[in-house]
Every structure is written in C-alpha cells, then in structure tokens.
Amino acid sequence: MSIIESDTEQGVYSLAQLFSIMDYAVIEVTSANSFHLSAEPVWFDPLVTSNENQVLTDRFPFLESFLPEAFLFWEKLQDGRIQSDFWTQTNIAGEEIHLLAYAVSLNWRRFLLIRSAEDLYKERQTWQMYAHETAIQLRTIARLQRAMEETTHALKIANVKLNELSIQDSLTGVYNRRHFEHTFDLELRRTYRSGEPISILFMDVDHFKLLNDTFGHSAGDECLRSIGKLLKDFLRRPGDLVARIGGEEFAVVLPGIAGSAALQLAQSINQKIRNLKISNTNSDADIRTTVSLGVYTRPPKGEETMSQILQIVDGALYQAKRSGRDKVVVASSTSKNPHCLHVVKAGRKY
C-alpha cells in the first residue's frame, strides 16, 4: 500500500488547499491497496522522512487497527462517517502529535480524513482532569456528608445525655426538682382534662443530719443513692416520677392513682426503706434508716393549683415528722374548704 501523490487538477487542488488549511490530510481509498492523497497539512510531512512509496500504515501505524473498521463501514455503501479514537505519534523531530481519523463515505467514494487533534486532545484532557477532580470532590463531599451525619448523630446522642443530665439529680440518678415541677405541672393539667385523680408523695429521710454526723458524708450519700434506686425500682409504671427535691427530701408523682392506692404505696415505701440495708465504707455494719411521708390526692376535676397542692402535701409531711417520724400521713381536702389539711392516717404498716 503506497501513497499516490496529490492530483494537480485545479478543482481538486483547491479542495486540497481547503482541507490543508483546516489541518486535514485527505486520502481517497480506491481499493484495499490503493490510496490517493489529496491534501497535506503542515504536520503531515514531518511525521517521517520523505518517501513517496512509503506504506500508509507505516506512516500512520494506528490505521492498522482503524482500517478494518473503516472497510466494514464502507461496505454498507451508505453516506456518512465514523471516527477513530485519539492516537499519538512522534514525528522526525521527536515531537508528539495527536491525531484523529475519520472514515467517510460520500457518493460511493471512500475517504480517510486525518487531522491534527491537539485542540481536541487538550480539551479532552481538560475535561478528563475536570471529571477526575469532580469525582474527587464528590467523594470528598460524600465523606463530609457521612462525617456530618455521624457528627449529627453523635450530637443528638450528646444532647440526649445532656438533657438527661440537666433533668437528673447527679447523686441519686432520679429526676431533679426543676424537672419535677415542670412534669408535675403538665400532669396536673393533663389529669384535669382527662378526669383522672393524681397523687403526690413527699418523703424525708429521718434524722439525716445525725446520720451524716455519725457515719460521715460518704455514708449519707450512699443512703440517698440507695433510697433513690429503691424508689426507681419500685415505681415503674409509665408516668410515675421520682425526684430528689431537697437535701434528703424526695417527691413521687403518681398520675391516675387515687387516695387509698397512694396510701398503700406510701406505706410499702416506708416499710421497704425500713428494711433497707445501706452499706457503710467506714464500718462493717450496715446502716439502717427510716423515712416520713406526706401524701395528697387531687380528685378528678379538682381545682387546686400546683402551689396549693405542694403546700398541702408539705404540711402532711411536716405532720408525719412532728408526730414521731417513720410514719405516713395523708392529707385530704373538704368540699367546703378544699385547702384545709386533715390527717386521716398516721402510723406504720407492720
């Protein structure tokens, strides 16, 4: 397969000039072994040393793989074109040149158009680099999104823990006074709307100052922790609330619990704490203690406010301590004077 030099007819020469200016080499394929060169751009000759009889595929090695595809296309006898991929060759000066070939079918004639593709090659490289950088950025964004999701999840967990810490008593693990007052107010409103009773217990550890003075503050802390755990383990209904509202004072909110049931629960708590063995790091002997309890139940549709109820139940607790401690006192209201305190139960359950 040798290259036949360009036609010198004026019409063809003018067309060849046009293609040369456009950086195209135009080769008409007249047979499998005959190629007619019609246009030579400036990059064409420096590819190899001048040799008019040089085999076409020696000058363009890439055509060895593209020509079979081109002949299959030409056999269809349909006007159109197919394009090769980019390829790179080195000219006689050692410079790399990027080329692109087209197999063209036009009016039963077959052409190979080969052009310098430096612009397209650089553009493709730019786009490939852009695509690569974009892929890296997308992966980075994905990693950042995952990190953000993990951080958000961790923050949610931390916020939950912080919220728990903000509403819990750090020593005993039960709720603190702030959460007690907030929740009790909500439950008072809810039970009023639903027509349910609601009971509240105030509980005070008897002779707690003496316990601290005798066994030390660490023993006092252990006493409060043990009582807090007992209350949480015993009162497990949804809605039951146990809180430490003072130094040695606890409160229990019992939504839906009426007076007699509240009294039984208070007496059970009194008995359980009396039987509670509290470890003492300063001695081999366990510590025993007792508690005094005040109880009040607001009946369905009762109109006492939270401050009034707290005053009533605090009065019941005071009465339990004043009458000898280790007792349960239940306060009730009369229809004529709903804020009047009446002691209806004072004593132990053995």
Residue type, 137: Q
Q: Are residues 172 and 216 in the same domain?
A: yes
For residue 73 the two structure tokens come to: 């296309």
**Ramachandran quadrant class, 107 (left: phi over 0; alpha: psi -120 to 50; beta: rest):** left
Asked if 296 and 254 touch (Cβ cutoff 8 Å), the reply is no
Q: Which pLDDT score is estimated for 199?
A: 96
Clarify whether residues 91 and 137 are in a common domain.
Answer: no
Query: Using CA atoms, how far apart are residues 345 and 307, in angstroms rounded to an integer?
Result: 23
> What was the pLDDT predicted at 4?
42
Taking only the tens place, the pLDDT of each residue in 20-60 is: 777 788 888 888 777 777 777 777 777 655 555 555 666 77
SS3 sequence of 149-197: HHHHHHHHHHHHHHHHHHHECCCCCCECHHHHHHHHHHHHHHHHHHCCC
Tokens of 187: 């439950």
> Do residues 173 and 287 share a domain?
yes
Class of residue 316 by CB neighbours under 10 A (exposed 0-12, middle 13-18, buried 19+): buried
Which whole-number Å values give the CA distances from 223 to 207, 235, 243, in the listed order? 12, 18, 15
The helix/strand/coil state of 210 is helix
- Which residues have CB under 8 Å from 205's CB, separation 6+? 211, 223, 224, 227, 248, 249, 289, 290, 291
Q: Both 313 and 196 in a single domain?
A: yes
Is 199 in the same domain as 309? yes
Q: Are residues 179 and 162 in the same domain?
A: no
Query: The whole model's pTM is what?
Result: 0.57
pLDDT at 307 over 80: yes
State whether 266 and 285 are in the same domain: yes
Instruction: Of 301, 289, 305, 297, give the one whose Cα is nearest residue 342.
Output: 297
C-alpha R_g of the chain: 48
Range of the domain at 302: 168-347
Note the pLDDT of residue 39.
Answer: 74
Q: Are 309 and 204 members of one domain?
A: yes
**How confident is the model at residue 53, as a pLDDT?**
53
> Which of 207 and 112 is assigned the larger pLDDT?
207
Residue 264, helix vs strand vs coil: helix
- Per-residue pLDDT averaged across 303-320, rounded? 94
Share of the chain above pLDDT 70, in %: 85
**208 shares its domain with 321:** yes
**158-172: per-residue pLDDT in tens?**
888 888 778 999 999
Same domain, 224 and 301: yes
Instruction: Supply the pLDDT for residue 249.
Output: 98
Q: Is 255 helix (H, G, I), strand (E, B) or coil?
A: strand
CA distances from 162 to 154, 156, 159, 180 (A): 12, 10, 5, 17
Least confident stretch, 43-57, 121-135, 186-200, 214-228: 43-57
Beta-strand ranges (E) seen in the chain are: 2-4, 24-31, 34-39, 80-83, 87-90, 96-106, 109-116, 198-205, 241-244, 249-255, 291-298, 328-332, 342-347
| Whole-angstrom distance, CA of residue 335 vs CA of residue 156 | 49
The pLDDT tens digits for 267-285 are 999 999 999 988 887 777 7
Does 318 have pLDDT greater than 90? yes
Whether residue 151 sits in one domain with residue 96: no
For residues 17 and 163, give the distance between their C-alpha atoms in angstroms, rounded to a whole number.
83
Helix (H) or strand (E) holding 239: none
Q: Are residues 155 and 178 in the same domain?
A: no
The CATH number of the domain holding residue 306 is 3.30.70.270
Annotate 57-76 with b (16+ C-beta within 10 A) or e (fewer). eebbebbeebbeebeebbee
Q: What average pLDDT does range 292-300 have in this prediction?
A: 95
Residues with active-site annotation: 248
Overall number of domains in the chain: 3
